[in-house]
Chains A and B, each alone.
Chain A
Amino acid sequence: MNEILNLSRRDFLKTGAAAGGGLVIGFYLPLGNRLTAQQTEATFAPNAFIRIGTDDRVTVIVNHSEMGQGVYTALPMLVAEELDADWSKVRVEPAPVDAAYNHTAFGMQMTGGSTSTWSEYDRLRKAGATARAMLVAAAASTWNVDAASLRTQNGYVIHDATKRRLSYGQLAGKASTMTPPQNVALKDPKDFKLIGRPTKRLDTPEKINGKGMFGLDVAVPNMLVAVVARAPVFGGKVRSFNADKAKSVAGVRDVVQIDRGIAVVANGFWPAKLGREALDIAWDEGSLAALDSATQRDQYAQLAKESGVVAKKEGDAAAAMSQATKKLEAVYEVPYLAHAPMEPLNCVADVRADGADVWTGTQFQTMEQIIAAQAAGLKPQQVRIHTMLLGGGFGRRAVPDCHFVQEAVQVSKAVKAPVKVIWTREDDIRGGYYRPAAYHSISAALGADGKPVAWQQRIVSQSFIAGTPFEPFIFKNGVDQTAVEGAADLPYDVPNLQVEWKQAPGGVPTLWWRSVGHSYNAFVVESFLDELAHAAGKDPYEYRRSLLGKNTRHLAALNLAAEKAGWGRALPEGRSRGIAVHDSFGSYIAQVAEVSVLKKGEVRVHRIVCAIDCGPTVNPDTIRAQMEGAVAFGLTAALYGQITFEKGRVQQRNFHDYQMLRMNEMPVVEVHIVPSNEKMGGVGEPGVPPVAPAVCNAIFAATGKRIRRLPIRAEELKA
């Protein structure tokens, strides 16, 4: 029951049979469900999201990608709740590309922005309720009783008066003939049996027995494997190449030039990689050949002296600053960061004259289909995108230019065979699409009561939105909102506020990285607020409380985290606490970090207490898991993360010099969920932003040293 991608799918992929029939509801039925003709006829498919078979199996077609955040469980829970399904009979199937599966808020099929659950909350519950009503109508018709005399429970329609019951599978055939009701009533949340209760993930079994199918695991008949030699400098182009030595490597079948480099195509990964090493390529390195992180830092510092585009203005911050007697000024800096999902990027493309199939882990189905079609010379409807499990996404698999799919399509088209393009870890770390580096100059003035009377922040960063189809939606008044989110919407009471954005030159490919602009703005805002608290001689927790005014959700999270962490109570010798609160993606999160700093400046994070108000919960255990994971993600960046350049080249290449947090460094994470009926927010990203400031504020409490540049450098903290 629990295998989302079952053996039949695997068999299918290996035999390459055509996609099964059974187009019962007018769209292509994805892989792995080759129903028999009889089953197909009897299958009840009231809408694009639900199929109920005569075997009682309930298949929920999920339009959001599973990348660890638990949507293959949370979204079926929404359907199953209103359907009164037997949860043990629920399974998941990834949606094909179809307008029916477009994101309810974004109008294209995609996963991102910590939106999956709230954006489907109404639609999927309605889908379930509609199916339930049709099953009830089918039973009423069968028994010739009033539908109102029937109830549903655990996959059955029940007539109590006559003690009769029929399973949903038994009713599937008849239900298919019922007219879907126009309006269905949804449950009162107090009657929920599934939503809001910790529920085991449907995808756990297949992720612990080797059966789960990630993009990298796809194999189709006659498939070749390719690795691509890409320019050593972003924007570089092939000037000339010699493939003789590469072609002489046993197993190498072909070497082809594509837009982004030279692809070595072989009968397996290893010969392809050896072939790539044997390539002789002369590159035109382009305009970034001299890019150097130290020089770029100076350039950003210069840009920070010029005024930027105003993202937020309240009162007159400059005037208030000039009149103030107590002022603070600081510079905060963050580096480029790679997403480094555990599964390196990959894509299988099979381009034929009459159509194409693409198998990959993507967050961006609609755009992949369009770009793949362009690259293949086909129409979008001729391209099928098969969404596989994602071995981590974090934004890296939501790329507006769809480059990793485009490459595979180009290679397949060139060699006229199905091809899997595999990225090595080095390709991934050096492959760009980083969280942008950012340079912040920030200043504030304090009044006589110690509270800020003015706050000015200028953010220098690149835009990865400018020039993409997203620009009209994400730019407001000339400001890339992803650059200023978490800064322009400062929650604290400051009467004179000005936040500006200064666009830095592009070139290095950048992208959304789990929590996007919040990932650095929370670090800057929450660290600087800590500076103000200390300058005012106030407790950092109480100082925040005094400035949060009517922001009850921030306050609830802050208070709960402080209480559970024992804020103000004694700690073991050598340990200190830091606190931060931040809202992003509709959720409000406070974290208290317990940290010690060793003599050599090494930082140990022992415990992080996290309180979240995300509104009503769907799967509380997933919320906890996402907070635990966010702590590891945020801590990895705070302690280690940086991509740097020298002579245009990325200096890091694998996990030895682009380090990940490991088991022995993982703090104890305690998650507390604020009971809340406020608007539902997301949980995938918002746990990340408070981590770095909570830890750095604890470091300040321990050492009196303020970390204003990430990653944390031990040499700055030596005793």
Chain B
Amino acid sequence: MITFKVNRKAQSVDVNPDTPLLWVLRENLQLTGTKFGCGMALCGACTVHLDGEAVRSCVTPVSRAAGKEVTTIEGLSPDLSHPLQRAWIAQDVPQCGYCQSGQIMSAAVLLRENPKPTDADIDDAMSGNVCRCGTYQRIRSAIHLAARMKAGGEK
């Protein structure tokens, strides 16, 4: 049994401890907002927060989450109220949408660590997240907008 918290709720799973956290979230806990894209930490679609840090859950054994706190896209806000979600709507970022959970989870850590990121900061933080639809330009403007929202400049 491996016990950890997911989106503030205690969970216990009985799986091979080498199983990537991604598949435990998706298949055991039915949290399918976290996506499978590459299985090699190359695309970022599976990004979640483990004790507040962005990790690629496709290469993170679930054993590493034992006793820790995992946050997934489903736990970011209950009502689309997170500044990033509001900014994503304002910029109408997603196309197919498949990578966007991972994009937002990466951006959330960026904004927490760096409330006013520059374009170069965004390049650094977000280049691990692939978007095949090419929504990068809108992701960039949405991150800037969310930063302004967080600072109280814009609703």
Interface set of A (CB-CB < 8 Å, partner B): 14, 66-70, 200-201, 203-214, 216-217, 219, 225, 250-251, 268-271, 340-344, 389-394, 422, 424-426, 621, 625, 628-633, 654-656, 660-664, 666, 668-669
Whether B94 pairs with A201 at a CB distance below 8 angstroms is: yes
Is there an interface contact between A211 and B123, defined as CB atoms closer than 8 Å? no
Whether A655 and B43, one on each chain, are in contact in the complex, defined by CB atoms closer than 8 angstroms, is yes
Write out, one digit per residue, whether chain B residues 15-45 have a CB within 8 A of any chain A CB (1) or not (0): 1101110010011101111111111101101
Q: Which of B49-57, B70-78, B147-155 contacts A (4 or more CB under 8 A)?
A: B70-78
Within 8 A of A (CB), among B39-93: 39-40, 42-43, 45, 72-74, 76-77, 80, 84-85, 88-89, 92-93
Instruction: Report A-chain residues with C-beta under 8 Å of the C-beta of B131.
Output: 342, 632
Q: How many A-B residue pairs have CB under 8 A?
A: 192
> For residue B137, which residues in chain A have a CB less than 8 angstroms away from its CB?
628, 666, 668-669
How far, in angstroms, from A217 to B22 measured CA to CA in the complex? 12
Q: How far is the CA of A550 from the CA of B27 in the complex (A)?
A: 59
In-complex Cβ contact of B133 among A251, A269, A392, A654 (8 A): A392
Which residues of chain B are within 8 angstroms of A661 by Cβ–Cβ distance?
Answer: 134, 136
B73 touches A210 (CB 8 A): yes
Contacting pair B135 A628 (CB below 8 A) = yes
**With A250-B16, A270-B19, A662-B127: A655-B139 Cβ-Cβ less than 8 Å:** no
Are B35 and A343 neighbours in the complex by a CB distance under 8 Å?
A: yes
Bound Cα distance from A209 to B104, whole angstroms: 9
How distant is the Cα of A654 from the Cα of B19 in the complex, in angstroms?
Answer: 20
- Interface check B6, CB cutoff 8 A: no
Question: Which partner residue on chain B sits nearest A389 by CB separation?
Answer: B97
A663 near B35 with CB under 8 A, answer no
| Besides A201-B92, A212-B97, 11 other A-B contacts (C-beta < 8 A) | A208-B80, A208-B89, A210-B34, A210-B73, A268-B28, A343-B96, A344-B36, A389-B98, A632-B131, A663-B129, A669-B137
What does DSSP make chain A's interface, helix, strand, loop or mixed? Answer: loop
Contacts of A251 in B (CB 8 A): 16
Q: Smallest CB-CB separation from B135: which chain A residue? A: A629
**A203→B84 CA distance, assembly (Å):** 16
- Choice from A205, A426, A628, A664 contacting B138 with Cβ under 8 Å: A628
Given contacts A201-B94, A204-B93, A214-B98, contact A663 B40 (CB under 8 A): no
Q: How far is the CB of B134 from chain A (nearest CB, A)?
A: 2
Q: Are B92 and A204 in contact (CB under 8 A)?
A: yes
Instruction: Kindly list chain A residues whose C-beta atoms are within 8 Å of the C-beta of B76.
Output: 209
A67 touches B74 (CB 8 A): no
Asked if B126 CB lies within 8 Å of chain A CBs, one says: yes
Known A-B contacts A14-B30, A342-B98, A343-B35; the reply to A663 vs B122 at CB < 8 A is yes
Enumerate 5 A-B pairs (CB-CB under 8 Å) in ascending A order.
A209-B80, A210-B33, A425-B38, A628-B134, A629-B134
A389 to B33, CA, bound (A): 13
Query: Complex Cα distance A633/B134, Å?
Result: 7
State whether A631 touches B134 (Cβ < 8 A). yes
Residue among B76, B92, B95, B104 with max Cβ neighbours from chain A (10 Å): B95
C-alpha gap A213/B96 in the complex (Å)? 11
Give the residue of B34, B42, B98 whose beta carbon is less than 8 angstroms from that of A391.
B98
In the complex, the answer to whether A340 meets B16 with C-beta atoms within 8 Å is no
B99 interface contact, C-beta 8 A = yes
Closest to A664 in B: B123
Which are the 3 A-B pairs with shortest beta-carbon distances? A210-B33, A632-B134, A207-B97
Chain A neighbourhood of B132, CB < 8 A: 340-342, 392, 394, 633, 660
Taken together as a complex, chains A and B put the C-alpha atoms of A426 and B43 apart, in Å, by 13
